[in-house]
Structure 1
Amino acid sequence: MEYQVRQEILDLHRFFQDWFNGVLPKNAASVQRLDRALNPQFRIVSPHGILTEKPRLMEGIEQAHGVHAGKGFRIWIDNVTCRQLSPDLMLATYEEWQESEGTKRGRVSSALFQKQVTAPNQVTWLHVHETWLPQSP
């Protein structure tokens, strides 16, 4: 399961990068990748402390298509660690870094995954909690 979780973290953030850059077409087929990856009960706590459930998150992401187009926006992931909690649950922590127009910002995330054979990489995101990292020099 660890391989699937690590791959899902990379693949979903690649989706975000391509979506926000407007590389992916703005259509149901593109958004379906995200919908299938997020568990129906998915929740995220942003670095600002705001709790968002899946329906509202999906709506916001759909509206943000191409928001960073032409700004050199990129996302990369560092320092992934995984802990198996049960045969079907894994907790991962990782750093997510974003750069746009020369400004770099990072956050550390804890994400809970559940095994789901029909999902991308055979896991779904159940819960994410993000915290800002100190800004880089």
Structure 2
Amino acid sequence: MSQQSPLFQKASAEVLDFHRFFEAWYDATTADNTDFGRCERTFGQAFHMIPPTGRLFDRAQTIELIRTNRASFHGDFSIEISDIRASFETEDTIVLTYVEAQMRAGKYSRRQASALFTTSSSAPNGVEWQHLHETWLQMPET
């Protein structure tokens, strides 16, 4: 398993690009110019997400959650992604782990994520998110 394989490069780019989408979609000054279709094209039909709270979201619930949070921040939301690694890879499937740090209205948090991607010529960066599981490394400050 190579950290530089073409599939690793596509999936890593997707992780970074999709989190840039979140920053733009969640910011009131940029939300109107952000293509929400990008979000809908990135999830596989059987996508599931488990956020740090432990709740299970299917594809439709995840998309609705993201849609609902549009323009919720005013220049006070950011995400930093670090430590992207491949933990499993086949010809058309890869599992990445990464650390996501968020700043939301002055409150800092960090989460460890693992994401399963499969190749898809119609998805942004050529990969679809199939599963995402996140756990707290640092809960939001109170």
Return the TM-score normalized by structure 2: 0.88
Whether the 8 Å contact between 2:51 and 2:135 is mirrored in structure 1 is yes
5+ residue gaps in structure 1? none
Counterpart among 117, 125, 129 of residue 129 in structure 2: 125
Match of 2:64 in 1: 59
Q: Could you tell me how far 1:56 is from its partner in structure 2?
A: 1.1
Residue 104 to residue 124, structure 1, CA distance change in 2 (3 Å): same
SS at match of 2:128: strand
Residue 23 of structure 2 corresponds to residue 17 of structure 1: yes
Counterpart among 21, 34, 37 of residue 32 in structure 1: 37
Q: Could you tell me how far 1:136 is from its partner in structure 2?
A: 9.0
Aligned residues: 134
Q: Could you tell me how far 1:103 is from its partner in structure 2?
A: 1.9
Return the TM-score normalized by structure 1: 0.91
Counterpart among 95, 109, 131 of residue 99 in structure 2: 95
Q: Could you tell me how far 1:121 is from its partner in structure 2?
A: 0.3
Residue 46 to residue 117, structure 1, CA distance change in 2 (3 Å): same
Whether the 8 Å contact between 2:48 and 2:59 is mirrored in structure 1 is yes
Residue 61 to residue 11, structure 1, CA distance change in 2 (3 Å): same
Q: Share of identical aligned residues, percent?
A: 31
Residue 92 of structure 2 corresponds to residue 85 of structure 1: no
Q: CA RMSD in A?
A: 1.8
Q: Could you tell me how far 1:84 is from its partner in structure 2?
A: 4.1
2:17 partner amino acid: D
- Where in structure 1 do 4 or more consecutive aligned residues deviate above 4 Å? none
2:15 partner amino acid: I
5+ residue gaps in structure 2? 1-6
Match of 1:2 in 2: 8
Inter-partner Cα distance in structure 1 for 2:137 and 2:84? 15
Inter-partner Cα distance in structure 2 for 1:101 and 1:58? 22
